[in-house]
Amino acid sequence: MDPRHLQLDDEGRLKHFLTIDGLDRALLTEILDRAEGFLGVARQAVKKVPLCRGKIIANVFFENSTRTRTTFELAAKRLSADVLNVNISTSATSKGETLLDTLRNLEAMHVDMFVVRHADSGAAQFIAEHAAPFVSVINAGDGSYAHPTQGMLDMFTIRRHKRRFEGLTAVIVGDILHSRVARSQIGALRTLGAAEVRVVGPRTLIPADAEEALGVRVFQDLREGLHEADVIILLRLQRERMNGAFLPSEHEFFHLFGLTEQRIDGAKPDAIVMHPGPINRGVEMESGIADGPRSVILEQVSNGLAVRMAVMSMCIGTQNLAMASASRSAQPDQDATADLLAQELERG
């Protein structure tokens, strides 16, 4: 099933969040607007809202990521949900059996939402396709396919600094080929109306069909790619996904593509610098950039909580509406059964 259809209900509401591809501008804007409302929760004396009270949310991580798991856990707790953290090591069992066995066992515990991270592309979609009707699935990163909440927290950060996407030139630098984050960022930027999205990196780390398939402009020269940029997004080299010699060394990468004070001069004076983390200082950028006034990297972390709260609450809201509708549909049958039982008792 196409994930773009799988993740929406019949009314166009968010049921699962598997990918940004195929979602329209109105829905992405709704996520951003809702996240704005959650920013203030961190400043409250009691940092909780009751939107997911009584719900059980399971973080099912087949691939390690302390940062992502922690932010999802905290987001769920701020929504008053109960959280179950499941860290699963990769085994020799086939993907289908492993995911389905895990899914069925957790469903037996009456889990309402799965937050899934997996090294294989399509794992979150696989779980969504086989999940029970009133269970939601959020993709916390799968293979090189998608990381939609990271993409949306980056859009949220950009909007708070630039106010709008129209007219913006965004530049993504680094390992585009292996990056699920880059794909989600590119899809979101284009849907929200950015004027131009550029990717910069070694030829070996950019998909051969990037311009046609992703709708971006490709550059192999960093200075040229950064010219008049409004937003600069740096990516980590995905060493764990590289099978072969994609670049000579990290030192050589920094020499050609690392962001320095000298190279950033070509961007606009108010350009912001972003990174999904973790940062490799001296590889993707020098420390002066990471800690400098243009950097919004720590803001991305804080904004991630608000965006993940927004996505979770939207999915749970859709789930609650579906359950209420099913309950109303079943009520006439329940009433008819009760009437028949009453009649039998009277006859008896």
Decide: residue 118, CB within 10 A, 0-12 exposed, 13-18 middle, 19+ buried: buried
278 is in an annotated binding site: yes
Decide: residue 86, CB within 10 A, 0-12 exposed, 13-18 middle, 19+ buried: middle
Residues 169, 315: Cα–Cα separation, whole Å? 31
67 is in an annotated binding site: yes
239 is in an annotated binding site: no
275 is in an annotated binding site: no
304 is in an annotated binding site: no
- Count of residues making up the chain: 348
147 is in an annotated binding site: yes
Strands 82-87 and 113-118: unpaired
34 is in an annotated binding site: no
Structure tokens at 166: 């129209």
Beta-carbon contacts of 60 under 8 Å, excluding residues fewer than 6 positions away, are: 86, 88, 102, 106, 114, 115, 116, 117, 127
277 is in an annotated binding site: yes
- Give how far Cα 156 sits from Cα of 86, 263, 307, Å: 28, 26, 8
Residues 9, 228: Cα–Cα separation, whole Å? 41
**Annotated binding site for L-aspartate: which residue ranges?**
95, 180, 236
Binding site as annotated, residues for carbamoyl phosphate: 67-68, 117, 147, 150, 277-278
Residues annotated in a binding site:
67-68, 95, 117, 147, 150, 180, 236, 277-278
